Structure formats: structure tokens, C-alpha cells
Amino acid sequence: MPGPARAGLFVYASDKERLVCFYEAIAGLARLHETPDLTVLESPDIQLLVHRIPAHIAATFAIESPPIRREDSALKFFFTVVSIAAARAKAVELGGEVFEENWQGPGFIVCNAMDPEGNVFQMREFAA
């Protein structure tokens, strides 16, 4: 994705590096730019900006292990992966989860997943 992205997504993180590593491994995103408070990840499809939650705000809550699902948001993003099965195994290793229920969309298989901080997103795999 040369130049500034036309679209992207911000995720605020209590543990920025952990979320960055998760999305690198699960969604195949690469680090484009990094400061202590912000990491920009990208693929040909999307830029994901992982922003550290300021310490004074992060001190007001705790991310449990395993995390509590934060699925009551009006927005949910999705990534396409090569293999949901492979992503499922890797997600657990990295502190997240890919949920068991899969369903079919037009040309893809889809399921919901959760990152290590409980943010719920959708994962898609192109159907054969």
C-alpha cells in the first residue's frame, strides 16, 4: 500500500506490543511505522493502527486472562486469512481465540474471533 492509506482502523491497546504481535501473526500484517505509543501495521488491503492507551486511563481497568469478550460494539472489522484452522491454533498461542462456529458467505467461510484484549472481529477464508 504505497503512500498514505485511504482507509484503516484504530485499535486502542492496554498492551500495544502484544496486540501488534497478534495481528502480525493472525492477519499477516507488517509493521510500517512505529513510535512508543503507536504502531502502524498494513497489508495490501488495510492499515491497522494500534495505539497505546494512556497510562492514566489504562490504570482504571484490567484485561483479564483469558480476556472477557468485548462484543457489544457497534463496529466489527474483518480480515481474510489463508486458513481459519491455522489461525485458530495460532490465536490461542498468542492469547486470543477463534470461535468454533463457522458459516458460509458468498465465496468465503467466516467465523468470529477475539484478540488478547477481548476485541471481537471476524475472520474470513476464501471458499475452494
**Model pLDDT for residues 25-36, shown as the tens digit of each residue:** 999 999 999 999
Of the chain, the percentage scoring pLDDT greater than 90 comes to 73
Angular region, 7: left φ>0, alpha ψ -120 to 50, beta rest: beta
> What is the mean pLDDT of the segment spanning 75-82?
92
**Model pLDDT for residues 26-62, shown as the tens digit of each residue:** 999 999 999 999 999 999 889 999 999 988 888 888 8
Residues 6+ apart with CB under 8 A from 42: 1, 5, 29, 30, 32, 48
Across the chain, mean pLDDT equals 91
Q: Measured on CA atoms in the order 45, 90, 115, 123, is the torsion positive or negative? A: positive
Give the relative orientation of helices 84-93 and 16-27 as an angle to the nearest 10 degrees.
160
Q: Are 84 and 92 in contact (CB under 8 A)?
A: no
Q: Are 20 and 31 in contact (CB under 8 A)?
A: yes
Residues 6+ apart with CB under 8 A from 89: none
Check residue 69 and give its pLDDT. 86
Domain range summary for the chain, segments of one domain joined by +: 8-126
Check residue 96 and give its pLDDT. 95
Name the amino acid, one letter, at 16.
Answer: K
> What is the mean pLDDT of the segment spanning 94-106?
94
Q: Which helix (H) or strand (E) holds 11?
A: strand 8-13
**Taking 70 as the threshold, does the pLDDT of residue 11 lie above it?**
yes
The architecture that CATH gives domain 8-126 is Roll (3.10)
Q: pLDDT tier at 1 (50, 70, 90 boundaries)?
A: low
* Alpha-carbon distances, residue 6 vs 12, 13, 24, 40 (angstroms): 20, 23, 20, 14
